Structure formats: C-alpha cells, structure tokens
C-alpha cells in the first residue's frame, strides 16, 4: 500500500513537472516567434527604406535628365559639355545612392541577424536554467517523450 502511495505521488509529481516543462516550452516558443516577427519587421523596414531611397534617386536622376534635355534644346553653345557633365554627375550620384541603399539594407540585415542570435541564446539559457533547476523534471519529460515515441513506433 505504501508503494502504491509513493507511486501515485511520483506520478503526480511527474505530471506537475511535465506541465511545467510544457509551459516553459510554450514560453520559449512564443518568445522565439516574437523575435522572428521582429526580425521580419526589421527586414521589411529595410526593404521599404531601400525602395524609397532608390525611388528618390531615380526621381533626382529624372530631374537631371530633364535639365539635360532643357540645356540641349536651348541651343547653348556649351550644351554638349554641360550635358556630359550633368550626365556624369547624375550617373555618379545614382551609383553612390544605389551603393548607400544596398549598404543600408545590409546593415539592417546584420542588425536583424544579431538580434535573432542574441535572443536565441537567451532562449537557450532560459531552457538550460530550467533544466538545471529541475533535472528530475527534465529527465521525466525526456523519458515520457521517449516512451510515447516508442509506443507510437511499435504500432
């Protein structure tokens, strides 16, 4: 009778630890999903900023082309020289802007990756701490999962 009482007590403790482990797992999963959402948001922001920068540069380039057309059509004697200079300036400016936009997007990507890596380590540390705090729970949960998988594979 005493053994049945102890066995029942162990089962209750195991169920309680199993519940704690599931809750900890859900918490970690929710935090990871939130971090991934933040990373996606940052990537989308970086893409939007890069597009806006590119559109702005294209608009400036169009303005420069319009100025170039105006200069050429006005018949000014040095129109050819000025046109070449404006074209060169616009081309240089657009090239620089494209590089800056690309670099800005890369910086955002690096920041997003660092954020994910940093928070990933925090989640790992939380899980490790919980396992260290309750090693018996961790063993019971792992054993229970092993038994469940074993039972499923036998069928």
- Domain ranges in the chain are 2-154
- Quick one: pLDDT at residue 1? 53
pTM, 2 dp: 0.31
Whole-angstrom Cα distance, residue 104 to residue 46? 7
Tens-place pLDDT, residues 7-65:
667 777 777 777 777 777 777 777 777 777 777 888 888 788 888 888 888 888 888 88
Tens-place pLDDT, residues 69-113:
777 666 655 666 777 888 788 777 777 877 777 777 677 767 767
Task: Give DSSP secondary structure letters for the chain.
Answer: -HHHHHHHHHHHHHHHHHHHHHHHHHHHHHHHHHHHHHHHHHHHHHHHHHHHHHHHHHHHHHHHHHHHHHHHHTT-TTHHHHHHHHHHHHHHHHHHHHHHHHHHHHHHHHHHHHHHHHHHHHHHHHHHHHHHH-HHHHHHHHHHHHHHHHHHHH-
Model confidence at 2: pLDDT above 60 = no
């Amino acid at each position: 009778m005493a053994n049945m009482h102890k066995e029942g007590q162990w089962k209750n403790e195991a169920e309680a630890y199993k519940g704690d482990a599931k809750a900890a797992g859900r918490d970690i999963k929710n935090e990871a999903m939130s971090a991934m959402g933040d990373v996606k948001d940052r990537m989308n922001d970086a893409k939007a900023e890069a597009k806006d920068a590119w559109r702005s540069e294209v608009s400036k380039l169009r303005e420069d082309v319009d100025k170039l057309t105006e200069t050429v059509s006005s018949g000014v004697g040095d129109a050819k020289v000025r046109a070449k200079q404006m074209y060169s300036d616009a081309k240089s400016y657009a090239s620089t802007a494209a590089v800056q936009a690309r670099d800005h997007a890369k910086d955002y990507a690096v920041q997003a990756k660092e954020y994910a890596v940093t928070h990933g380590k925090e989640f790992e540390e939380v899980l490790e701490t919980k396992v260290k705090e309750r090693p018996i729970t961790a063993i019971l949960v792992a054993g229970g999962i092993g038994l469940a998988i074993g039972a499923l594979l036998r069928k």
